[in-house]
Amino acid sequence: MWRGFLPELVTICDPGSQGAIDATFFDRETASRHYQNRSDRHIRTLKTTALVDPDSCAILDIHCSAHWSHDTQTGRRVALPNTEKIESLASDKGYDDQSLRDALRSAGVWPLLRHRLFAAYDHAHNARLDSEL
């Protein structure tokens, strides 16, 4: 249902060239108790990943799932089909994946993906992101 509204929302909001991606969880246990009993499906929590334009707060794409795959895998599904809409993509450390960075760069998108801190050079990469962009 959301996919039908998103193209209209994008034309109304006139998003810029930047994008941000993040995931959140929605508790569906109490809200859909009637549906669970009728369908014999017991979905307690949904993981929702949204690609958002930070300037207009428009949702460019959304992915909902009852199966919680890692953020790097979900980030691929949300960000890569929308590379013609954005020039840069920002995210938190959960999307730290070199293959995702390479795929974004090859599509012409500047990745602003923070690095998880394993070594000193990861601190340097994050400091460069903070100071330059």
Domain at 2-132: CATH code: 3.30.420
Q: Give the pLDDT confidence score for residue 22 in this predicted structure.
A: 85
Is the pTM above the cut of 0.95?
no
CB 74 within 8 A of CB 63: yes
Helix axes 98-106, 71-79, angle to 10 degrees: 10
Return the closest-CA partner of residue 110 out of 132, 92, 90.
Answer: 90
CA angle 92, 83, 98 (to 5 degrees): 45
Q: Give the pLDDT confidence score for residue 58 in this predicted structure.
A: 82
User: Which residue ranges make up each domain of the chain?
Assistant: 2-132
Tell me the mean pLDDT per 10 residues along the chain, length 133: 69 77 75 65 75 84 78 82 86 84 90 78 69 57
Q: Give the pLDDT confidence score for residue 107 in this predicted structure.
A: 92
Token readout for 84 is: 């013609």
Q: Give the pLDDT confidence score for residue 69 in this predicted structure.
A: 73
Q: Give the pLDDT confidence score for residue 33 in this predicted structure.
A: 65
